[in-house]
Amino acid sequence: MPFVFNSNSDIFHIRLKEMELQAERIMDPGLKTRPVAIISSPRPNGTILSLSPEAEEDGLFHGMKVSVVRKMSHGVQLLPYNRSLYARVNRYVYQALSMFTPIVEPEGFDGFYLDMKGMRAIRGDMQNTGMSIVQKIRKQTNISGIVGISVNKLVSRIVTSVVPETIHEVEDGKEAQFLSPLKSPVLPVVKENSVNRLLRFLWIKQISHIQSMARDPDKFRTFFGSYAVQLSREIHGQDSSVVKPPQ
């Protein structure tokens, strides 16, 4: 069954990388060069949610247990998760983004989708618009962000998770080509246990290999069962979900 999606939209994904760390360093400039990790809980089973490059150099990583951190590194400063601070930053950024489009969907504290449909005719080049957005966020909050641009939410979000550039646009029609060299875990459906286990069993790591499998629809359905349709859409960069502003 053919899958129809809207290719006339420009969907932006804004990611405020390590937003929690950025916010803490704005509040306390003395943290700017120190190894810092923001943790979910001070208890031994708490985990690292955000960390500084200096902490990464000490061998720490996202998801590491607090009990392990305390054994490994005595120099890192552990900060509690300050939900009220991050929510405040999130509101300021949301207000800044709403100046570019009324259709803004927050994604947690550090992400936003923007439906920029029709804005190309008004604002011109979308990459220049993306840069204006980054500059506006920086001016109003002192927070740095990056922008992914494509025709849908799926691809734009993947862009900001894998591309280090401040602005990156995937042209309409080149979604599958962009995804092809990437590792399969960037796809949402691969987080499903049965899909993840099968890909690991088959030693399939790159999306290009899954795209090759999908050329035989019958075998693809045999392998992936009820997830075959969703996986086929995702490996080709197809996504019909809409940007939903908060109610």
Q: Quick one: which of 26, 147, 132 has its CA closest to 79?
A: 26
Mean pLDDT of the chain: 93
Q: Is pLDDT above 60 for 242?
A: yes
Q: Quick one: which of 159, 105, 90 has its CA closest to 127?
A: 159
* DSSP annotation of 183: B
Instruction: State how beta strands 48-51 and 36-39 pair.
Output: antiparallel
| 18-54 burial code (b ≥16 CB/10 A, e <16) | bbbbbbbbeeeeebeeebbbbbeeeeeebebbbbbeb
DSSP run (H or E) holding 156: helix 153-162
Count the Cβ atoms, other than its own, within 10 Å of residue 198: 16
Instruction: State how beta strands 146-150 and 11-15 pair.
Output: antiparallel
Please state the pTM of the whole predicted model: 0.90
- Which pLDDT score is estimated for 230? 97
- Which pLDDT score is estimated for 8? 61
Q: Are 105 and 242 in contact (CB under 8 A)?
A: no
What lies within 8 Å, CB to CB, of 164 at 6+ separation is 146
pLDDT tens figures, 84-98: 999 999 999 999 999
pLDDT tens figures, 101-111: 999 999 999 99
Q: Is pLDDT above 60 for 4?
A: no
Instruction: Give the pair of three-digit tokens for residue 108.
Output: 């947690």
Looking up tokens 């641009």 gives: 149
Confidence at 3, pLDDT banded by 50, 70, 90: very low
Give the residue-averaged pLDDT of 77-83: 95
pLDDT tens figures, 137-178: 999 999 999 999 999 999 999 999 999 999 999 999 999 999
